[in-house]
Amino acid sequence: MFRVVIPARYDSVRLPGKALRQIGGKPMVQWAYERARAAGALEVLIATDDARIRDAAGAFGAEGVMTSAAHVSGTDRIAEVAAARGWPERDIVVNLQGDEPLMPPALIAQVAELLDSVPGAQIATLATPLGSVAELLDTNTVKVVTDTSGRALYFSRAPIPWNRAGAAAGLVSQTDPGGARRHLGIYAYRVGPLKRLAGLAPGALELREKLEQLRALENGFHIQVADAREAPGPDVNTAADLARVAALLGAAVTGG
């Protein structure tokens, strides 16, 4: 049993109003919501700080929950919802971003099942093997390395792990991304650790890499990682991403 909370804010530097951009006549956040519903979640909520998103959620039958405008991350927004609803400390809640209209329902269920299967873990997330050197070197592609049991050791925008033998002439000469994995931005949390995490200040590594999951590692949280059972579709950060996702859905971008 698990719940899904979709954090969705209106302001976005690269694509303002992103959550409400229309794809095939539906706001993007609705596509994410429908994926979560198809995953078999007990409950799916949309957490926002903007009445426009709350009202749009209500219009397509979802429950939109107003949260503080002061939150700097989706994790903090979800923690507020969990605390307000009084969810039990051991319950599992999945963080599905509102800009993931192509997230396979199977992966939403998988990340919840992964956390449930590892009693000592406080957070679970997914990864997928990198397919090219370009992805390895791309600082917008977050990489993850784990120990032999699947526990996360580190997340980075840097190319890790680095195949020294494949790069005889330095960084740009790398020929082999083998062993590198892309981190997918979907998480499952146990409610108790989620609330503790949200109460912690950002750490030095998080501030340097601009990766909020490093706050958990810096504070000793156990993050369990598994390879995704399916390849996820792209998320949406720019107008070009929006057009690409619409094309994959066979739908038109119709305004918003």
Taking only the tens place, the pLDDT of each residue in 124-133 is 999 999 989 9
H helix or E strand, kind and range, residue 190: strand 181-190
Kindly report the pTM of this predicted structure.
0.93
The DSSP-derived string for 89-144 is TT-EEEE--TT-TT--HHHHHHHHHHHHH-TT-SEEEEEEE---HHHHH-TTS-EE
For residue 233, the SS3 value is coil
Secondary structure of 33-93 in HEC code, one letter for each residue: HHHHHHCCCCEEEEEECCHHHHHHHHHCCCEEEECCCCCCCHHHHHHHHHHHHCCCCCCEE
Residue 12 is predicted with a pLDDT of 78
Q: β-pairing, 2-7 with 92-95?
A: parallel
For residues 29 and 46, what is the distance between their CA atoms, to the nearest angstrom? 8
| Boundaries of every domain in the chain | 1-103+235-256, 118-184+200-232
Residue 14 is predicted with a pLDDT of 76
- The answer to whether the 1-103+235-256 and 118-184+200-232 domains have the same CATH topology is yes
H helix or E strand, kind and range, residue 182: strand 181-190
In this predicted model, what pLDDT tens digit does every residue of 187-240 receive, in sequence order? 999 999 999 999 999 999 999 999 999 999 999 999 999 999 998 888 888 888
Residues of the chain short of pLDDT 50, as ranges, are none
Contact at 8 Å (CB) between 125 and 228? no
Residue 255 is predicted with a pLDDT of 54
Minimal CA–CA distance to 29: which of 98, 82, 75, 85?
A: 98
For residues 182 and 127, what is the distance between their CA atoms, to the nearest angstrom? 5
Contact at 8 Å (CB) between 41 and 108? yes
For residues 176 and 133, what is the distance between their CA atoms, to the nearest angstrom? 6
What is 1-103+235-256's CATH topology?
Spore Coat Polysaccharide Biosynthesis Protein SpsA; Chain A (3.90.550)
118-184+200-232: CATH homologous superfamily?
Spore Coat Polysaccharide Biosynthesis Protein SpsA; Chain A (3.90.550.10)
For residues 116 and 124, what is the distance between their CA atoms, to the nearest angstrom? 9
